[in-house]
Amino acid sequence: MTTQPELLDTLRQITGSPHVLCDGDLSAYTQDWRKRAQGKALAVVRPASVQEVAAIVKACADAGTSLVPQGGNTGLAVGSVPDESGTQVVLSLQRMNVVRAIDAANLTVTVEAGCVLQNLQQAAEKAGFLFPLSLAAEGSCTIGGNLASNAGGTQVLRYGNARDLCLGLEVVNAQGEIWHGLSGLRKDNTGYDLTDLFVGSEGTLGIITAATLKLYPQPAARLTAWAALPSMDAAVTLLGLAHQHLGAGLTGFEVMGQFALSLVDKHFPQLRVPLFKDASWCVLLENSDHESEAHARSQFERLLETAFENGCVSDAVVAESIAQAHQLWHIRESIPLAQAEEGLNIKHDISIAVSRIPEFVKTTDALLQQNIAGVRLVNFGHLGDGNLHYNVQAPEGSDAKAFLRDREDEVNTLVYDSVARFDGSISAEHGVGSLKTDKLPAYKSPVALSMMRAIKLGLDPQNIMNPGRIVKL
C-alpha cells in the first residue's frame, strides 16, 4: 500500500506543490464555521480540474486514505472538516470556480462546484436571468456544497431546494472515475436518478465537480413587506392568505420571533429593526411579479387589507425601494450573527408540516422552559416551507459555554423527541454531517438507514468518501 510520503509526492505531481498544503495555519480548512470542531489534515489539496480530482481520488484510494470534500466550509453540521487523526486529505474545490456555459434557450447554466453562490447569481443576472437559490452565506458558500447539502434558503417556497434546481451533475466516484452527467435534460427516464442520489449526500458517495442548473426569467418587479403578528397561528393564517392573493408570485415567507429580532436590535442597532409593540412575531414576505410593479403592489395591498380585516396582522410596512427591501432582508439574515454575538447557542434546523407548527412551538417552548429555567428561544426561519431554525440560548447572565457543554444533549433530546411526535425531520436544510450522525438512528426508519448503508457500501466499499458522515458503517 502507498505510504503517506509517497501519497503526498503523488498529490504534488497532480496539482503542483503550491496546491498541496501541509504546513502553517490550515484552520480555514480544518475548523468548522461555528468553531465547534477543529480537525487535523494530512494535507489540503486544491485541484483545478475534474481530471485532477479524479487522479487525487485514485491516489487516495490506492493509499487507503479517506477524503473530505470541501467548498466554502460554511456548513453548520460539521460535515466538511477532517477528524483529529491527521490522516485525512481535505479536497478543496475552491479553484474550480468557473461558470462554464449559459444556455439561454434551455434556461440552464453549467458551473463548477467551487463557484461562490453570489458569483453565480451575478453571472445569471448579467445574462438577463435569475438563479433563485439565496441564503445568508451566499457570499462565501459554493455550489458544490449547496448541492451536497441540498441547501434551502429563502426562496424554497417558489423555486424549491437546491435539488429542485439541479438538472445534471459531473461527479468523481470513489474509484476515481468521472461520471459526465451534465446533459441539462428535464426529462430523462433511463433508470435510477443518479443526480438526485448525489444531491444531499454530503460528499459520502462521490465528489460533485460541476452542475447544470435551472435559470428563470428575471421578474418585472419584486416587492417586500414586513408584518407584525400576535401569534404563530396568525402567521400560518397570513401564509394561507398570501397563497390565495399572490399565487406563484409568493417567493419568500420568513417568520421571526420577537426575541430573535431583539438580539439583532441589541447587537446591530444600526440596522433599525422594526419592533412593533405587542407583536410576538414578525413576517417578512416577498412577491415577485412578471407583469409590473403596479400589479405587484396592488396584490400586496389587497393581501394586507384582507389580513388586517382578518385580524392576523396588527401592523405592516411595504418597502418603497430596492434599498429598503435589502435592508429588511439584511435584518432577517443578521439573526444568526446576532445570536452568535449573544453567546454560544444550541442550533436546530427542523421541519414540521406548516399546519402543525403553531402547536409544535407552543408545546416545545413549554417543555424547554419547564426543564430549564430562564432558557431563551431564538425561533425564526422559512415558515413558507415548514423549516424553523429553533435555536436555544442560555439563560441571561449564565455561562453560555458551560450551558452548551452541560445541557446540549438534554436540549437536543427534548427538541428532537418533540419533532418526532409531530412527524417532522431533525434536519431540514443543513444536513446531517457528523453533528447528527449519532442521533439519526433514533429518528430515522431502520429500513431507510439499512438502504442508505447499502448504497454507501455499493458506491464506496473502501469507505474513503467523507466517512462518519450521515451513516456509520
pLDDT at 180: 97
262 in a structural domain:
yes
Band of residue 383 on the pLDDT scale cut at 50, 70, 90: very high
pLDDT of residue 284: 96
Give pLDDT tens digits for 316-363: 999 988 889 999 999 999 999 999 999 989 999 999 999 999 999 999
CATH number where 162 lies = 3.30.465.10
Provide CB contacts within 8 A for 348, sequence distance 6+. Answer: 388, 389, 390, 391, 392, 412, 415, 416, 426
Which domain covers residue 404, as residue numbers?
343-421
Q: What is the CATH number of the domain that holds 409?
A: 3.30.70.2740
- Are residues 103 and 212 located together in one domain of the fold? yes
Residues 127 and 207 in one domain: yes
**Cα–Cα distance for residue pair 361/370, rounded to 1 Å:** 14
Average pLDDT for residues 42-71, to the nearest whole number? 97
Average pLDDT score over residue span 44-52:
98
- The percentage of residues in the chain with a pLDDT greater than 90, rounded to a whole number, is 87
Same domain, 57 and 122: no
What's 37's domain CATH number?
3.30.43.10
Q: Identify whether residues 234 and 259 lie together within a single domain.
A: yes
Sequence-ordered strand ranges (E) for 328-424 = 345-346, 349-351, 376-382, 387-393
> Which of 399, 421, 443 is the C-terminal boundary of a domain?
421
* One domain, residues 47 and 127: no
Residue 430 lies in a domain: no
Are 83 and 146 members of one domain? Answer: no
Query: Do residue 165 and residue 211 come from a single domain?
Result: yes
Residues 131 and 233 in one domain: no
Q: Kindly list the strands in the beta sheet with 41-45, ordered across the sheet, starting from the edge strand earlier in the chain.
A: 20-21, 41-45, 88-92, 67-70
The reported pLDDT for the residue numbered 130 is 96
Please give the pLDDT value at position 119: 97
Q: pLDDT tens digits for 90-146?
A: 999 999 999 999 999 999 999 999 999 999 999 999 999 999 999 888 999 999 999
Same domain (yes/no): 159, 234 = no
Domain boundary among 313, 336, 359: 336
The Cα 405–Cα 421 span in angstroms is 26
Looking at the domain assignment, is residue 469 inside a domain? no
**Domain final residue, candidates 316, 336, 356:** 336
Amino acid identity at 341: E
How many structural domains compose the chain?
A: 4
Please check whether residue 149 lies inside any domain of the structure.
yes
> What pLDDT, in 10s, does the model give residues 339-352?
999 998 999 999 99
**Cell numbers standing for residue 19:** 496546491
Which CATH number fits the domain that encloses residue 293?
A: 3.30.70.2190
Answer yes or no: is 248 within a domain. Answer: yes
Distance CA 191, CA 181 (A): 13
In 237-303, DSSP assigns E strands to 250-257, 281-289
Does residue 275 carry a pLDDT above 80?
A: no
Give me the DSSP letters along 264-279.
HHHH-GGG-----TT-
* pLDDT score recorded for residue 30: 95
Domain contains 276: yes
Answer whether residue 444 is part of any domain.
Answer: no
CA distances from 209 to 69, 181, 248, 431 (A): 10, 11, 32, 19
Residue 238 and residue 299 in one domain: yes
Task: Grade residue 51 by pLDDT with cuts at 50, 70 and 90.
Answer: very high
32 in a structural domain: yes
Residues 77 and 115 in one domain: no
**395: pLDDT strictly greater than 90:** yes
pLDDT of residue 40: 96
Q: How confident is the model at residue 294 (pLDDT cuts 50, 70, 90)?
A: confident
Tell me the pLDDT tens digit for each residue of 415-431. Answer: 999 999 999 999 999 99
Task: Give the model's confidence band at 269: pLDDT under 50 very low, under 70 low, under 90 confident, else very high.
Answer: very high
1 has a pLDDT exceeding 80: no
Q: Assess whether 137 and 161 both reside in one domain.
A: yes
